[in-house]
């Protein structure tokens, strides 16, 4: 199963959908809402649809979670439900021990970069 998301109406889902289709996703859920928005109905539908033995595939970590804590919570819940998680851009597969370790490292980096982009530049003295 796949999940894609764009943040604004000006962004297009096409490339993400093509990537997920090429990865073999049988069904793809897609939201057009900011990752900061808790109300992502397609993500909720995707989580409800997934069953033990499935794998959720996303184009990249920043398309799935809003923050490091959010990513860790959601991927942890998937693992408890015996659902795998794969992020194509980062080449992560949490069905392996190494993949789980790398997931935590990349998730921290993704949050750091997002905060850098959204942080105001300090004034120079």
Task: Give me the active site residues, please.
Answer: 7
| Burial tier of 94 (Cβ tally within 10 Å: 0-12, 13-18, 19+) | buried
Q: How far apart are CA 39 and CA 20, in angstroms?
A: 22
Please name the helix (run of DSSP H) or strand (run of DSSP E) that holds residue 86, with its range, or none. strand 84-87
Sign of the C-alpha dihedral, residues 22, 80, 60, 3? positive
Instruction: Convert 25-36 to b/e letters by CB count within 10 Å (16 or more is b).
Output: beebbbbebebe
């Amino acid at each position: 199963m796949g999940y894609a998301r764009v943040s604004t109406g000006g962004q297009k889902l096409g490339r993400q959908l093509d990537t997920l289709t090429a990865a073999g996703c049988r069904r793809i859920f897609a939201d057009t809402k900011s990752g900061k928005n808790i109300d992502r109905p397609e993500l909720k539908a995707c989580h409800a649809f997934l069953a033990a033995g499935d794998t959720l595939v996303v184009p990249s970590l920043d398309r799935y979670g809003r923050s490091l804590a959010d990513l860790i919570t959601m991927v942890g819940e998937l693992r408890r439900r015996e659902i795998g998680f794969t992020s194509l851009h980062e080449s992560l597969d949490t069905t392996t021990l190494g993949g789980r370790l790398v997931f935590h490292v990349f998730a921290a980096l993704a949050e750091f970069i997002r905060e850098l982009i959204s942080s105001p530049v300090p004034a120079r003295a």
